[in-house]
Chain A
Amino acid sequence: MYLQMGNVSLPDKSAAQRFEKMAGACGIDRPVHAARTGYHTP
């Protein structure tokens, strides 16, 4: 597992990149990066 964010399972890096794009379109900037760097851990 690449990253688990709340109910969102991101099995690999490409899934994480797709999620990051979707979040970006919603106005949420780089949540995966934030979670991985510990800035935000849901």
Chain B
Amino acid sequence: MADVLIQSVTKRYGTVTVVPSLDLHIPEGSFTVLVGPSGCGKSTLLRMIAGLESVSDGKISIGGQDITHVAPSKRGVAMVFQSYALYPHMTVAENIGFGLRLAGIPKADMDERVREVAGILQLGPLLERRPKQLSGGQRQRVAIGRAIVRKPKVFLFDEPLSNLDAALRAQMRVELSELHERLGSTMVYVTHDQVEAMTMADQIVVLNKGNIEQVGAPMDLYRQPATPFVAGFIGSPKMNFIDGAIAREFGGDLVGIRPEHVTLSQHEGRWPATVRHAEHLGGETLVHLDSPVAGRLTAKVSGDIDAAPGASVFATPGGAGLHVFADGQRVLT
């Protein structure tokens, strides 16, 4: 177990700078999620920590040791890929134990560690199967098992759940969080899915165009986004943004309101609006509105309300849920 320190790390491909000078501390034992849209540099950063990409400038340390130019296999990291990268001709036990075998670990020790890992990941009954006889979730657990068995200082996950269906992703999110609690290891996890970031991380790093927009605990980013980008990226459904006269009224050039902080009334309220569409999710309803004053809005209301397209309503923002921005930064209120 160790912390990861990234100091002034830059990545260039020829004349194109993908990651400008970036500084980040990943505390020992944390579950840090790097999140951002495609092309934001999150996978490049993870691959630089793994040693799969060279660093153009700067320094990466793990547990106080400079590993910037150390080979991937000597960094004390273990990476789990989206594509599993298992050997199809080997059994589950052979896949998990392969790294130990090449490292010259005696067979008895190797078997014991494989059994121990299989127990943690509930792979015991599957040890003699081959990857093609497993489901996607089971294959991903084998890839995780192969990472755990080497007892790395840092686990690196590169969008490991992207190939799984929605139900399995939800299950694996819980399993990975439980695994982190059990092992207490430093884990760095890359995803473009803000739900994965919010549910698993104890530290989220939001990246945009190679720059860090904000670092913090999930609920801190949700409650106090530093920039409109973070405000729009974290939270589902997406935050409503209003500019112009309404924003100036609040002392900024942009105001953000989360859909759950917009209340609707048929008789009175701040902004008149027309219902465009209602999405009935069972326990709650997403109402999409057009307001001549505030523009397009989404309101998230509890229960299955009756909101027919074309109906006239009033939308009112909740005072505590207002996020005011000026010049791309949060205005402290």
Contact = CB atoms under 8 A, between A and B. Distances in A.
A42 B101 contact: no
Contacts of A31: 98, 102
B51 A34 contact: no
A16 to B, nearest CB: 14
B150 interface: yes
Contact of A25 (B52, B89, B90): B52
Contact of B72 (A6, A24, A40, A42): A24
Contacts of B136: none
Contacts of B77: 25, 27
Contacts of B73: 23-25, 27-30
Given A34-B102, A40-B101, A25 B87 contact: no
A23 B98 CA distance: 11
A27 B71 CA distance: 11
Given A22-B85, A24-B51, A42-B89, A29 B156 contact: no
Given A21-B51, A25-B77, A26-B79, A6 B71 contact: no
Contacts of B81: 26
Contacts of A42: 87, 89-90
A6 B102 contact: no
Chain B's interface: helix, strand, loop or mixed, by majority? Answer: mixed
Interface in A1-42: 6-8, 21-31, 34, 39-40, 42
Nearest to A5: B87
> Counting chain B CB atoms within 10 Å of each CB, which of A25, A29, A30, A40 scores highest?
A25
Contacts of B45: none
A18 to B, nearest CB: 9
Contact of A7 (B52, B74, B89, B149): B89
B85 A26 contact: yes
A28 B88 contact: no
Contacts of B52: 21-22, 25
A26 B148 CA distance: 10
A22 B90 CA distance: 18
B192 interface: no
B281 interface: no
B102 A24 contact: no
Given A25-B50, A42-B89, 12 more contacts: A6-B87, A6-B89, A24-B51, A26-B99, A26-B147, A27-B146, A27-B150, A27-B152, A28-B98, A30-B102, A40-B102, A42-B87
Interface of B: 50-52, 71-74, 77-81, 85, 87-90, 98-99, 101-103, 143, 146-147, 149-150, 152, 156
10 contacts: A6-B87, A22-B85, A24-B51, A25-B73, A26-B146, A26-B147, A28-B99, A28-B102, A42-B89, A42-B90
Interface of A: 6-8, 21-31, 34, 39-40, 42
